[in-house]
Structure 1
């Protein structure tokens, strides 16, 4: 199988809102480790960048829209732009994956219950093998449920569509 690492919506605006994404520093460290591993193994890296509406934390062209400096794309990395939770919908992601003969996607990023969940399920439906790094995606606390509970719940539910492993397991495979 030919694998690609997807880094979804790890943009400045997710870290500057109040409160910021849950355990943001730990998230960045894990994604950075997965990114380093992917580069060492010549695994293609695809950044997905969300464009939010005007005056949102991810408004296109603002500092919040830019990728977080700790994991910014390098020359040769692919950037896919989206404006919905689905990284495939009205984007060139599937075309890029087919051009590279990718059939296995490793998902990291933000937001667990939106973009990670939707991209996982859609990728599965498009016949990609999906792996989610269980400790390399995050979200925000909600009024009635914590970010940790959302992440735990999705790691459990998405096992129907993906292999769920830690960053360490991915790096040590």
Structure 2
């Protein structure tokens, strides 16, 4: 069984000054995956990135709250993380093992930070890591447009770090 992991789909990142590429499409993809996961009885985890006290993303900040557009029903596991890798300094690996998940389906934001580092860590920890090709995004940087960052990571991570699958082709 695979668990669904949605990274950092929070107000401060998604609705902040740097708009994510293809944000509406991402919301639709994530909501579709949430529905598929629920129907299959797959565990659902959502990470919220928080910073130190006094920072704009300190614990409890409105900027760290999950975007209301996600179709959450209340049974999902929501946890905080303070590092890009969702396994670092969290109990995510233990929670995945406790619910019988052998794999983790990785989605969310931002591609080149939390999505990348979590994909790499999942495989190292023995999980079958699956990256949803159309299930992650970021904003443009000064060097690269977001669509190129997403495409680059889909290509780079595929194989040694994870399987890359489009949402419509994934079944829990």
Smaller-chain TM-score bracket:
over 0.9
Which residue in 1 is equivalent to 2:27? 28
Preserved contact between residue 8 and residue 47 of structure 2 (Cα < 8 Å): yes
Q: TM-score, normalising length from structure 2?
A: 0.93
Q: 1:5 to 1:48 in 2, by over 3 A?
A: same
Q: TM-score, normalising length from structure 1?
A: 0.93
**1:51-80 per-position Cα deviation (integer Å, ceiling 9, x unaligned):** 034443x33212211001121543321122
Residue 104 (structure 1) aligned with residue 97 (structure 2) = no
Which residue in 2 is equivalent to 1:115? 114
Structure 2 stretches lacking a partner, 5+ long: none
- Which consecutive aligned stretches of 4+ in structure 1 deviate over 6 angstroms post-superposition? none
TM-aligned CA deviation for residue 44 of structure 1 = 0.6
User: Which whole-Å CA distance do the structure 1 matches of 2:71 and 2:49 have between them?
Assistant: 14
TM-aligned CA deviation for residue 154 of structure 1 = 0.3
User: Which whole-Å CA distance do the structure 2 matches of 1:167 and 1:59 have between them?
Assistant: 32
Higher mean C-alpha displacement, 63-72 vs 40-49:
63-72
Residue 155 of structure 2 aligns to a residue whose secondary structure is helix
Aligned residues: 170
